[in-house]
Amino acid sequence: MQLYYNHYSSNTRRVLLAADHLGIAFDLIEINLASQDDRRRLAEVNANSKLPVLIDGDFILWESCAIMQYLADGTPGQTVWPQARQARADASRWMFWACQHFAPAIGVLTWEHIWKKFVTGLEADANEVARGESELADTARVLDAHLATRRWLVGDAVTLADFAVVAPLMYKDKARLPLDDYPHLLAWFGRVRELPAWRNTEHAW
């Protein structure tokens, strides 16, 4: 299988976390989003021009959480994608939540504090930073409360839900994410960071 990826993409990090945990190796195709040629190559396999993209023979799959589920479904004996109907729905719920709520809130702050000056030369917009911090607070409260009585998001062990939600926290320090008021979230993040999958997918900035 081939994976179009970029180390700086938290959506890619989701897939790499799941693949490492599952023991799956890819033929990695790095896409430099600053390169016009690379962006053209990416558009040829994903009309959305987004990363990551999985190619498995003639099958092309984009959307990080769909790729994670596909990889787990093809791995006999795996435990990160629950088999029981309600547990699987619960994991799906948190994966959708990650894409719809948590990651977009963090994305505002990663853009303003990390990528904006690099791409546009402009400094962070205080109003946008305030918006991102407010949106992140709304989602962080939900996550912190959920984790107050549990070690992992679903069941008693790590699942794809944890990998989906945690990935954008790779930007925690550089994006200045204001998370000090959420001890249960931070404790969970600490547990994830101790997993071999997290350490094996760490990339030096």
pLDDT of residue 17: 98
Domain range summary for the chain, segments of one domain joined by +: 2-73, 85-195
Please tell me the CATH code under which domain 2-73 is placed: 3.40.30.10
44-46-48 Cα angle (round to 5): 120
CB 201 within 8 A of CB 13: yes
Assess whether the region 2-73 and the region 85-195 belong to the same CATH fold: no
Residue 166's nearest CA partner among 141, 143, 148, 132 is 143
CB 17 within 8 A of CB 163: yes
At 137, list the tokens.
């607070």
Count the neighbouring beta carbons within 10 Å of the beta carbon of residue 144.
Answer: 18
User: How far is the C-alpha of 109 from the C-alpha of 135, rounded, in Å?
Assistant: 10
Cα 74 → chain centroid: 20
pTM for this entry = 0.96
Specify the CATH architecture of the domain 85-195. Answer: Up-down Bundle (1.20)
At 42, list the tokens.
């990416």
List the chain pLDDT tens, one digit each, 205 residues. Answer: 999 999 999 999 999 999 999 999 999 999 998 999 999 999 999 999 999 999 999 999 999 999 999 999 999 999 999 999 999 999 999 999 999 999 999 999 999 999 999 899 999 999 999 999 999 999 999 999 999 999 999 999 999 999 999 999 999 999 999 999 999 999 999 999 999 999 999 986 5
CB 64 within 8 A of CB 98: no
CA distances from 169 to 49, 127, 148 (A): 23, 22, 19
Q: Locate all alpha helices (DSSP H) within the chain, ordered by sequence.
A: 10-22, 36-45, 64-73, 85-97, 103-110, 116-120, 126-146, 160-166, 183-193, 196-200
pLDDT of residue 203: 86
In the block, residue with structure tokens 């977009």:
104
pLDDT of residue 25: 95
